[in-house]
Amino acid sequence: MILVADSGSSKCDWVLINNHGEWVDKIKTEGLNPLLLSKKNISNTIDKVQHLLNKKHDSTIDKIYFYGAGCGSSGSGNLIKDLLYTTFNQAKYIRVEEDIIAAVHATTQEPGVICILGTGANCCYFDGRRVIQKTPALGYLLADEGSGNYFGREVIKSYYLKKLPLDLEESFEKEFGADLNLLLQKLHNVDSPNKYLASFATFIFKHRQHPFIENMLHQGIAKFIDSYLLNYKEELLDSPIHFVGSIAYYAQDVIKKSLDERGFIVKSFIKKPVGHLVNNIINKNIL
Amino acid sequence: MILVADSGSSKCDWVLINNHGEWVDKIKTEGLNPLLLSKKNISNTIDKVQHLLNKKHDSTIDKIYFYGAGCGSSGSGNLIKDLLYTTFNQAKYIRVEEDIIAAVHATTQEPGVICILGTGANCCYFDGRRVIQKTPALGYLLADEGSGNYFGREVIKSYYLKKLPLDLEESFEKEFGADLNLLLQKLHNVDSPNKYLASFATFIFKHRQHPFIENMLHQGIAKFIDSYLLNYKEELLDSPIHFVGSIAYYAQDVIKKSLDERGFIVKSFIKKPVGHLVNNIINKNIL
């Protein structure tokens, strides 16, 4: 059997396919970003997956395709690969790639610019054969403009720096409380601060009707376009844009409008790539 | 004897005063931000200080005044206080306050708005008697606009997102190398990512003559003013502004220009507050 994993920074979707290309099972775990988590933490999650699948299925998993945030460098990718080989010790072939590759395979077979706007942010160009990444994913400590952790941070900052209009201030307190110490302690102690920050981004989609929030959303998307997308100016002259990730999915009207104003064409929005990824893998024999 | 400590996120200055108010000794350690460091880590530094002073001086330290970044909440302040009492077990009185209080005592006895722009950023109003803080310090994971870690992050981002002009790109590579994996690994594994980020801010002061850098500096200072200082609009109508910290010190021409354009008066810039703090403590009996 073949195991395909698509791991963002927050969540990881695992799909089990049999050798005829049929879906056999699907499970969900925490994300496994090797830049943010300890080896022990990642290893525990992989063990959990193995245990769950082993309990339900007799056949051996002999191939694993793992696509993950933070797996862009050979060092971090190899860490995941080693841990997968250790746990799935009957696997004959394991491949680990950055999540942007999953986003490409999930969205298109044609040339295009493919963006991720989920917990984190990323962008690349696919020429129909190869993936070309002009700028790397920098993660929540450096960049991620327009991502879930970016918008979460903006919401928190606006509240504590007293920029929120009164009605939104009340909504924030009702939803998240007003205890900054508690927030800072959590932020500095959770395993994935980026995921914790991104949990505050739900606020903007709950309050989209508010002009302050609408403006925040437009500004964040504009920053993503300027920081990442415009590095592919030439490629965009004759390639469409595809988006993957929940922030892109829920903000698709803003993204469409912003890109339309700049003369670019958006072709698709996919909230979660794993289903499309697996289908494309099966139908088009990508693996 | 009295021990006075002024701790930023990066460095901590300790000054020993005898009971006649004379300086006896001065040492420097790592910063002791309780929001960012482990209890063990802080405890080790305090032990080191006690050991160093004990070796050189016979008299007992019976009072400690500790001013530190990240000590704004009672929880984090009490952690430092407990650790100080444990190590300096003959001390009869220990007081722990946020670093912004040290900035106030180091700069003025008159009403004024006092800002910190060092590794981190902070701002408050002093009415001549009490310190009023309308917005809290949020730290490098949420805010710190205009601070050392903000500018360091801007420099790194500009390089990896290909925004730097060619000559600056070459200078960056010469100074810091081009290995993003190494940078990200360090950033995610060092004890103080904010301090690591701030170490890249030296780049902007080395290349101040470059219009790109000058613009970056102006934008960062403008963000600090908008995010923090303008919360004290009313107080600024008849109070001057004081700045503490190395970023403020080196960027004082930009700060003066930016505030002058907005009609505000800057009164002083102090790179390191501890000397002024101790002198004011001695001369004006603040303690």
Over residues B187-198, the pLDDT tens digits come to 988 888 999 999
Contact residues, chain A, for B71 at CB < 8 Å? none
How far is Cα B231 from Cα B69, in angstroms, rounded to an integer? 20
In this predicted model, what pLDDT tens digit does every residue of A120-150 receive, in sequence order?
Answer: 999 999 999 999 999 998 999 999 999 999 9
Could you tell me the fold of the domain covering B2-103+274-284? Nucleotidyltransferase; domain 5 (3.30.420)
Tell me the average pLDDT of chain B.
92
Instruction: Tell me what percent of the residues of chain B surpass a pLDDT of 90.
Output: 78
CB contact under 8 A, A136 and B193: no
Cβ atoms A133, B122 nearer than 8 A: no
Best residue in B39, B161, B200 to probe A by mutation, most A CBs within 10 Å? B161
Q: In this model, does residue B287 exceed pLDDT 70?
A: no
- Chain B positions touching A35 (Cβ under 8 A) are 184-185, 188
pLDDT category at B200 given cuts 50, 70, 90 is very high
Q: How confident is the model at residue A274 (pLDDT cuts 50, 70, 90)?
A: confident
- C-beta atoms of A35 and B184 within 8 A: yes
CA angle (A227, B147, B175) in 5-degree steps? 70
Q: How is residue A24 written in tokens?
A: 């056999």
d(CA B220, CA A70): 29
Identify the closest residue of chain B to A229 by CA–CA distance. B161
What's the gap in Å between the CA of A166 and the closest CA on chain B? 15
Position B286 pLDDT exceeds 60: no
C-alpha to C-alpha distance for B101 and A253, rounded to whole angstroms: 47
For B179, the token pair is 């290995």
Q: What is the pLDDT of residue A285?
A: 60
> Above 60 in pLDDT, residue B216?
yes
Q: What CA–CA distances, in Å, run from B47 to A229, B54, B89, B93?
A: 51, 10, 11, 18
- Residue of A140, A179, A188 to mutate, interface with B, max B Cβ within 10 Å: A188
Answer whether A160 sits within 8 Å of B135, measured CB to CB: yes
Neighbours of B102 (CB within 10 A): 31
Q: Which tokens in the block code for residue A250?
A: 């829920």
For A25, the enclosing helix (H) or strand (E) is strand A23-30
pLDDT at A273: 86
Nearest-angstrom CA–CA distance, B7 and B230: 26
| Interval A102-120: pLDDT, tens | 999 999 989 999 999 999 9
pLDDT per residue as tens digits for the range A9-30: 788 999 999 888 888 999 999 9
The answer to whether the Cβ–Cβ distance between B161 and A188 falls below 8 Å is no
Compute the nearest-CA separation of A80 from chain B (Å): 15
Provide the shortest C-alpha distance from residue B114 to chain A (in Å).
Answer: 16
Partner-chain contact B75 A36, CB within 8 Å? no
